Amino acid sequence: MSGVPITIAGLPTVALAFTDQVPVWDQSAGLTGKFNFSALEALYTNTFALLTGAAFSGQVSVSVANNAVPGFLLLSGDYGAGSFGPFITLGANNNADGGGALIRFTRRGGANAHVWVDAALQVRVSTGLNGGAAGDVSGTVVGLQTSSLDQKDLAGDVIPLDELLAAIAQGAEAVHRFAYKPMGGYDEFGNEVEGERPYGGEIFEGVVVDYAPRYGTDRDQAHPGGKALNSITVTGDLLRAVAWLIEQNAEILGRLAALEELGAT
């Protein structure tokens, strides 16, 4: 073949339009046809936007064949001293009564749940959406449990006072001095990593629920006493115990007053 070969660098730059056409090369049959860029409009406004920084249109769906689990990974790298790592930004609804960004999770069983940060910097979770000022403070603050009656099914009488006092005594014996273990895990390459201790390694004195299972919650087979402190039951028991002590104190003070009157006569 004679002449100067045409290279990619030697071709002129053109502005693409949806009416421009692209040949289709079939692996077994060779050149078989053509299509317009307009056929890629949906792909252009979504996947291409992810690559080029253009605006998204609608939702982008990702699926993977052969039962592989899809993922979105921003790799670690050296981004300079004192700088932050990769991040994801979710914008807000700029309407006068719009909601902030949220993340939707599909729970086991198929129901949706949503997590967002409200205007007061509290992380909230809800099965509903957070649209508008009212929705911004809906749901429940993460780390708290709702205490309103509309979210509870009452389940009969509380335990007798003697059992309550015995449980409090057991809980007091379960108080130990401790620091939380380092939070380990694995990096993106599967290497085991040992992290720092939570709360800066601070030393606490509190209940170890393995020794006082009444005051544990979030139980499973490996943690029959629970994985976290049941602050609801702790608070309820202490309130009842304090109320009982107030009654006992009032009764004792009444008896002392009566004895003083008898002594005065």
What are the tens digits of pLDDT across the range 120-156?
Answer: 999 999 999 999 999 999 999 998 878 889 889 999 9
Q: What is the pLDDT of residue 12?
A: 83
pLDDT the model gives residue 30: 78
Answer whether residue 215 shows pLDDT above 70: yes
State the total domains in the chain: 3
> Domain range for residue 33?
14-59
What pLDDT was estimated at residue 264? Answer: 74
Q: How far is CA 68 from CA 108, 109, 235, in A?
A: 18, 20, 46
Residue 61 tokens, joined: 């769906």
Does 227 score more than 80 pLDDT? yes
Q: Round to whole Å and give the CA distance between 230 and 171.
A: 11
Same domain, 184 and 239: yes
Residue 72 clears pLDDT 60, i.e. is over it: yes
194 and 233 part of one domain: yes
Residue 258 falls within a domain, yes or no?
no
pLDDT digit string, tens, across residues 23-39: 887 888 878 888 776 66
Does residue 256 fall inside a structural domain? no
130 shares its domain with 205? no
Whether residue 51 is found in the same domain as residue 118: no
pLDDT tens string 151-160? 899 999 999 9
Residues 141 and 168 in one domain: no
Instruction: With respect to residue 218, please indicate whether it lies within any of the assigned structural domains.
Output: yes
The pTM for the full model equals: 0.67
Q: Residue 91: inside a domain, yes or no?
A: no
pLDDT score at 55: 59
Residue 109 lies in a domain: yes
Are 166 and 243 contained in the same domain?
yes
Residue 70 DSSP code:
P
> Which structure tokens are listed for 50?
């992810």
Residue 196, domain member (yes or no) = yes
pLDDT in tens, 170-200: 999 999 999 999 988 887 778 888 888 999 9
94 has a pLDDT exceeding 70:
yes
